[in-house]
Amino acid sequence: MVLINLATVLHEERLVGKILTWGIYIFMQGKLRKRLNILMLVTKSLAETTEIELKQPLKNVWR
């Protein structure tokens, strides 16, 4: 749910694709602990990517 909510906020199609792909991958994993570890890694990398995207001018985000 969190990943889908993030996907609706981000306007970059490339990022939305990554988020959905990782979301599917995470929930295909067997163990809950493994899921949580992967989720934390993905969330951290998404935060970094989003930070980079937000530093760009708005015209690049809305192309």
Q: Kind and range of the H or E element at 14?
A: helix 13-28
For the cut 70, the answer to whether the pLDDT of residue 53 exceeds it is no
Cβ atoms of 42 and 26 closer than 8 Å: yes
At 63 the pLDDT is: 45
pTM: 0.30
Nearest alpha-carbon partner for 3 in 42, 61, 37, 30: 42
Q: Residue 45 and residue 26: Cα distance in Å, rounded? A: 14
Q: What is the DSSP letter of 53?
A: H
pLDDT for 2-33, tens place per residue? 565 555 555 556 666 777 777 777 676 656 66
| E-state strands within the chain | none
